[in-house]
Amino acid sequence: MFKHLLVLAITTIFVENVVLVRFLGICPFLGVSKNTGTAVGMGMAVTFVITISSVMTWLVSNYVLDPLGLEYLRTLSFILIIAGLVQLVEMFTQKSIPSLYNALGIYLPLITTNCVVLGVALLNVQNDHTFEEALVYGISSGLSFTLAIFLFAGVREKLEASDVPQFLKGFPIALITAGLIAIAFLGFAGLQL
């Protein structure tokens, strides 16, 4: 059982990285990756929301929606749960980590519509995950988002100081960098687990 969950976690973080392989959550990935500190903060916030929301949505989906035959309400109720959780995270960061709250700015409430969060919740249902699997899948998806955004922010910080041709400065070079990192992550596809 433990081995199975470990394999699931490693697969999610590296082989099927949510951002770089599945291409979910690109908006905050590009939006708040200008410095590593903020990027890790965003990663942690997303990890928290994904973990709780994937557990909550699993419970709601398996114990409320499925028995009542209300599968069609899945997306709607998942969004409701995620929105509530994001509000909670927003209040929490504003109270305890105001600097992070200010740095994340508009991207914090935007976690609500972040497709990583909804995507993980829906994939849990689609892949018939058990409760433990849903929990591990949630955490490791959050970590894989954090890893991707942290690596990307590190490269972008270096880019600030490097001599980039005028027409590629800023966003264009960031997009190219994101593409290159994604290609690098394809290397994990050969991992035998």
Partner 1 sequence: MDILNAVLVLGALGLVLGLLLALASKYLSVQQDERIELITQALPAANCGGCGYPGCGALAVAIVENKAAVNACPVGGAACAEKIAEIMGLEKGAVEEKVAMVLCAGVKSAAKNKFEYDGVEDCTAASLLAGGERACLYGCIGLGSCERKCVFDAIKVVDGVAVVDHEKCTACGVCVATCPKDIIKLIPKDKAYTVACSSKDKGSVMKNICTVGCIACRLCEKVCPTEAITVEDNLASIDYEKCINCGQCEQKCPKKIIHVKAELLNISNFERNGCQIKDKVV
Which residues contact partner 1 by CB under 8 A? 60, 64-65, 68-70, 73, 76-77, 80-81, 83-84, 87-88, 91-92, 94-95, 98
For the chain, the straight-line distance linking the first and the last C-alpha, in angstroms and rounded, comes to 14
Using the minimum distance from each CB to partner 1, give the nearer residue, 98 or 187. Answer: 98
Min CB(73)–partner 1 separation in Å:
6
Q: Least distance (Å) from partner 1 to the CB of residue 31?
A: 15
C-beta of 85: minimal distance to partner 1 in Å?
8
Nearer to partner 1, 76 or 175 (CB): 76
SS3 164: coil
- When the beta carbons of 88 and 184 are compared against partner 1, the nearer one is 88
Cα distances (angstroms) measured from residue 180 to each of 57, 147, 158, 174: 34, 15, 15, 10
Closest to partner 1 by CB, 77 vs 130, is 77
For residues 62 and 18, give the distance between their C-alpha atoms in angstroms, rounded to a whole number.
24
Spatial CA neighbour of 6 closest among 187, 140, 188, 191: 140
Give the Cα-Cα-Cα angle 152, 155, 159 (nearest 5 degrees).
130
C-alpha–C-alpha distance, residues 111 and 114, integer Å: 5
Q: Which is nearer to partner 1, 78 or 185 (CB)?
A: 78
Q: Which is nearer to partner 1, 8 or 44 (CB)?
A: 44
- The kind and range of the H/E element at 122 are helix 115-126
CB of 22 to partner 1, least distance (A): 27
| Least distance from partner 1 to the Cβ atom of residue 111, Å | 15
In the bound complex, what is the minimum distance in angstroms from residue 102's beta carbon to partner 1? Answer: 10
- Distance in angstroms (rounded) separating the CA atoms of residues 176 and 96: 36
Among 81, 26, 7, 16, CA closest to 51: 81
